[in-house]
């Protein structure tokens, strides 16, 4: 029997988590400008997503080792049942052999002459009975020997399974600690991110209020200056009117008719200019206006990552799975399993949680690695994107793992999955990167 291989010991949860947390200690946020706070927030957001990715991988590993432990427990139960059955069969064989020996054998393992003579009608029958009695005893003894060997093998198998179970239980405990540590690190980073976000909002509000006050003060200053200039201008005009009043009246008396003629001509000229301007303005105002509504055509519903519009799939079990996954579009992201409340506003999913939900499995039933193993076991695995079918599972290397991410293919180079910072949505196969392949799970 193959021994259990501990292949999940090199999981860099602690180092990455605490190294990232250690970098989340900038100077007091309120002393910074909104631009500086935004820069800090963007940096923390990237680190937070990295922590969530680490927590997701730790959770996936916990699912894997827990499933392995469950499988081992099942095998132990099956082996124990086999041993019990073989013990029952062995007891039957031993009873039969005892009866045979009692009836057919005396000392030295030879058949009882008296018993054989009494049951033999002729010499030839006597020879045959002696021969078959010995052969029957040999057969029974052989069966018993084989049964003993089988039981010994089963006992050894059970012993190895018990040892494997103990190792797996230890591994589950260790992986649970790693998963808890990664989750705590992500939670701490999330709290810091939320705090920094609140500080950014407060700083933006303070800057907006300061800008509003500055604008009001500037408007008041300009209004005061304008009023002062207007008062000075009126004072200067009054002085000029008093000094020129006499000469102005004389000049008006001597040249009244000429001024009237000039005023008339000026008025006509002004009317002509006014008509010309009016015609020009009317021509511009009456020209048709064009609304550029090209931005309104976004090509259909798209999610984060620039996924294409959702194609319709065939009516099948795959179509039903995709439809169920589409019903949770817009839900939040979780680094472990899924939580469905019936509303996308209060539900969250990890990438494998989306598949678990779409297939009707319980939360934390599978990891990307276990789904990949199932697809390969079905013989539907392909690394050629052109061979992917609607509803196939697609796999990606992520977070330093060969298989660290899974999505549901919906055609057109797009899939449904869940990622940190965005949640459940439509994305292209190129958005994640590290495409490994895919295939049917149902």
Tell me: do 179 and 30 sit in the same domain. Answer: yes
More confident of the two residues 92 and 369:
369
Per-residue confidence (pLDDT) for residue 97, from 0 to 100: 66
pLDDT band at 432 (very low <50, low <70, confident <90, very high): confident
Burial 154-187 (b: 16+ CB within 10 A, else e): beebbebbeebbebbeebbebbeebbebbbebbe
* Per-residue confidence (pLDDT) for residue 242, from 0 to 100: 60
Does position 417 have pLDDT exceeding 80, yes or no?
yes
- Strands, E, within 347-434: which ranges? 348-349, 393-398, 401-411, 414-419, 423-428
pTM: 0.56
* Same-domain status, 41 and 169: yes
Is the confidence at residue 81, as pLDDT, over 50? yes
Residue ending a domain, choose from 209, 230, 248: 209
Residues 46 and 192 reside in one and the same domain: yes
Q: Is residue 173 part of a domain?
A: yes
d(CA 90, CA 40): 74
**pLDDT at 278 exceeding the cut of 50:** no
- 273 lies in some domain: no
Q: Give the residues across from 395 on adjacent strands.
A: 406, 437
What is the percent of the chain where pLDDT is above 90?
Answer: 34
Give yes or no for a contact between 161 and 77, defined as CB atoms under 8 angstroms apart. no
Q: Which residues contact 196 (CB under 8 A, 6 or more apart)?
A: 29, 37, 40, 41, 44
In contact, 438 and 318? CB cutoff 8 Å? no
pLDDT score, position 177: 92
In a domain, 408, yes or no: yes
CA distance 96 to 383: 60
- Mean pLDDT throughout 172-179? 92
161 closest CA partner among 87, 85, 78: 78
Residues 30 and 146 in one domain: yes
Query: Do the beta carbons of residue 55 and residue 179 sit within 8 Å?
Result: yes
Are 325 and 416 in contact by the 8 Å Cβ rule? The answer is yes
Contact call for residues 218 and 91 (beta carbons, < 8 A): no
Residue 50's domain is classified under what CATH number?
A: 1.10.287
pLDDT tens digits along 311-331: 444 548 999 999 999 999 999
More confident residue, 146 or 182: 182
What is the four-CA torsion angle of 103, 106, 111, 117, rounded to 10 degrees? -70
Domain co-membership, 198 together with 322: no
Count of residues making up the chain: 442
Task: Choose one of 209, 234, 262: the last residue of a domain.
Answer: 209
Q: How many domains does the chain have?
A: 2
User: Concatenated DSSP letters for 204-273?
Assistant: HHHHHHHHHHHHHHHHHHHHHHHHHHHHHHHHHHHHHHHHHHHHHHHHHHHTHHHHHHHHHHHHHHHHHH
Q: Are 416 and 355 in contact (CB under 8 A)?
A: no
Q: Please give the pLDDT value at position 205.
A: 78
Q: Residue 60: CA atoms inside 13 Å, Cβ hemisphere, count? A: 31
- Reported as a single tens digit per residue, the pLDDT across 390-405 is 999 999 998 778 999 9
* Residues 51 and 185 placed together within one structural domain of the fold: yes
Distance CA 131, CA 215 (A): 121
Give the residue from 136, 150, 139 showing the smallest Cα distance to 90.
Answer: 150
pLDDT at residue number 39: 83
Mean pLDDT of 81-90: 84
Does any domain span residue 285? no
Q: d(Cα 26, Cα 47) in Å, to the nearest integer?
A: 14
Task: With a cut of 50, say whether residue 410 has pLDDT above it.
Answer: yes
Structure tokens at 148: 């003993």
Tell me the average pLDDT of the chain.
74
Considering the domain architecture, whether residues 205 and 328 belong to the same structural domain is answered as no
User: Edge-to-edge strands of the sheet including 435-439?
Assistant: 423-428, 414-419, 401-411, 393-398, 435-439
Phi then psi for 339, rounded to 5 degrees? Answer: -140, 110
122, with CB counted inside 10 A (0-12, 13-18, 19+), is exposed
Domain span holding position 122? 13-209
Q: What would the pLDDT profile of 41-71 be if each residue is shown by its tens digit?
A: 788 888 888 888 889 889 999 998 999 999 9
Other CB atoms within a 10 A radius of the CB of residue 349 amount to 28
Which one of 209, 241, 265 terminates a domain?
209
Same-domain status, 323 and 185: no
- 263 assigned to some structural domain: no
Q: Residue 412 belongs to a domain with what CATH number?
A: 3.90.1720.10
Q: Is 272 left (phi over 0), alpha (psi -120 to 50) or beta?
A: alpha
Q: Does pLDDT of 293 surpass 50?
A: no
Taking 90 as the threshold, does the pLDDT of residue 351 lie above it? yes
**Is 251 a domain residue?**
no
Instruction: In whole angstroms, give the CA distance from residue 39 to residue 275.
Output: 57
266 within a domain of the structure (yes/no): no
Mean pLDDT to the nearest integer, 429-439: 94
Which residue, chain included where needed, has tokens 């198998």?
157
* Residue 284 domain flag: no
pLDDT tens-digit readout, 178-236: 999 988 988 888 888 888 888 877 877 777 787 788 888 888 888 888 888 888 887 87
Q: Rounded to whole angstroms, how far apart are CA atoms 259 and 281?
A: 32
pLDDT at 135: 61
Q: How far apart are the first and last CA of the chain?
A: 30
Q: What is the pLDDT of residue 326?
A: 97
pLDDT at residue 370 is higher than 90 = yes
pLDDT of the residue at 215 = 84
Q: Is the pLDDT confidence value at 163 over 90?
A: yes
């Amino acid at each position: 029997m193959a021994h259990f291989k501990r292949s999940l010991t090199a999981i860099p949860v602690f180092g990455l988590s605490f190294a990232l947390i250690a970098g989340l200690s900038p100077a007091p946020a309120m002393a910074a400008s909104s631009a500086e706070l935004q820069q800090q927030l963007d940096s923390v957001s990237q680190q937070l997503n990295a922590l969530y990715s680490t927590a997701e991988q730790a959770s996936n590993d916990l699912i894997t080792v827990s499933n392995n432990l469950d499988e081992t427990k099942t095998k132990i139960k099956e082996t124990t049942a086999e041993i019990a059955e073989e013990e029952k069969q062995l007891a039957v064989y031993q009873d039969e052999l005892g009866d045979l020996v009692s009836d057919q054998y005396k000392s030295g393992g030879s058949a009882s002459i008296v018993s054989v003579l009494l049951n033999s009608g002729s010499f030839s029958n006597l020879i045959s009975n002696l021969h078959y009695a010995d052969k029957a005893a040999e057969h029974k003894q052989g069966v018993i020997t084989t049964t003993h060997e089988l039981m010994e093998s089963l006992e050894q198998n059970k012993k190895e399974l018990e040892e494997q179970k103990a190792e797996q239980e230890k591994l589950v405990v260790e992986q649970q600690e790693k998963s808890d540590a990664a989750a705590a690190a992500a939670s701490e980073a999330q709290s810091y991110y939320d705090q920094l976000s609140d500080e950014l909002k407060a700083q933006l509000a303070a800057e907006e209020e300061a800008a509003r006050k500055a604008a009001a003060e500037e408007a008041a200053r300009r209004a005061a200056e304008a009023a002062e200039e207007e008062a000075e201008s009126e004072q200067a005009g009054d002085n000029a009117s008093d000094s020129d009043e006499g000469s102005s009246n004389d000049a008006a008396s001597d040249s009244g008719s000429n001024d009237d003629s000039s005023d008339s001509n000026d008025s006509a000229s002004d009317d002509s200019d006014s008509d010309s301007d009016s015609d020009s303005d009317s021509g511009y105002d009456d020209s048709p206006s064009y609304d550029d509504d090209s931005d309104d055509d976004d090509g259909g519903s798209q999610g984060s990552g620039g996924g294409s519009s959702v194609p319709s799939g065939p009516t099948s079990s795959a179509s039903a799975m995709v439809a169920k996954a589409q019903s949770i579009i817009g839900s939040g992201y979780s680094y472990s399993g899924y939580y469905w409340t019936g509303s996308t506003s209060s539900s969250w999913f990890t990438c494998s949680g989306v598949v678990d939900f779409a297939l009707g499995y319980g939360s934390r039933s599978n990891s990307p690695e276990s789904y990949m193993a199932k697809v390969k076991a079905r013989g539907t695995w392909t690394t050629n994107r052109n061979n992917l079918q609607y509803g196939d599972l697609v796999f990606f290397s992520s977070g330093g793992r060969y298989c660290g991410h899974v999505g549901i293919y919906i055609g057109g180079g797009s899939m449904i999955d869940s990622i940190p910072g965005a949640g459940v949505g439509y994305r292209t196969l190129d958005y994640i990167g590290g495409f490994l392949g895919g295939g049917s799970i149902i």
